Amino acid sequence: MKIPSPPVNPENKAFFDAAREGRFMLGTCTTCQAVHYYPRAACPFCGGKTELIPAKGNGTLYSYSVMRRVADPYAIAYVTLDEGVTVLTNLVDCDLDRLRIGSAVRLVFKAAEGGEMIPMFTPA
Digitized pLDDT (tens) for each residue of the chain, 124 residues in all:
789 999 999 999 999 999 999 999 999 999 999 999 988 999 999 999 999 999 999 999 999 999 999 999 999 999 999 999 999 999 999 999 999 999 999 999 999 999 999 999 999 9
Name 32's Cβ contacts closer than 8 Å, sequence gap at least 6: 43, 45, 46, 48
* 23-55 core/surface letters (b: 16 or more CB in 10 A; e: else): bbbbbbbeeeebbbbebeeebeeeeeebeeeeb
Whether CATH 2.40.50.840 fits 56-124: yes
Asked whether the bond before 78 is cis by omega within 30 degrees of 0, the reply is no
Whole-number pLDDT of residue 83:
96
Enter the DSSP assignment of 19.
Answer: H
Distance, in Å, from the CA atom of 41 to the CA atom of 30, rounded to the nearest integer, reads: 11
**If you average pLDDT over every residue of the chain, what do you get?**
96
Distance, in Å, from the CA atom of 80 to the CA atom of 84, rounded to the nearest integer, reads: 6
Whole-number pLDDT of residue 1:
75
Q: Is-above-0.85 flag for pTM?
A: yes
The pLDDT tens digits for 83-99 are 999 999 999 999 999 99
| Rg value, the chain, Cα | 15
Enter the DSSP assignment of 26.
Answer: E
Domain(s) of CATH 2.40.50.840: residues in the chain:
56-124
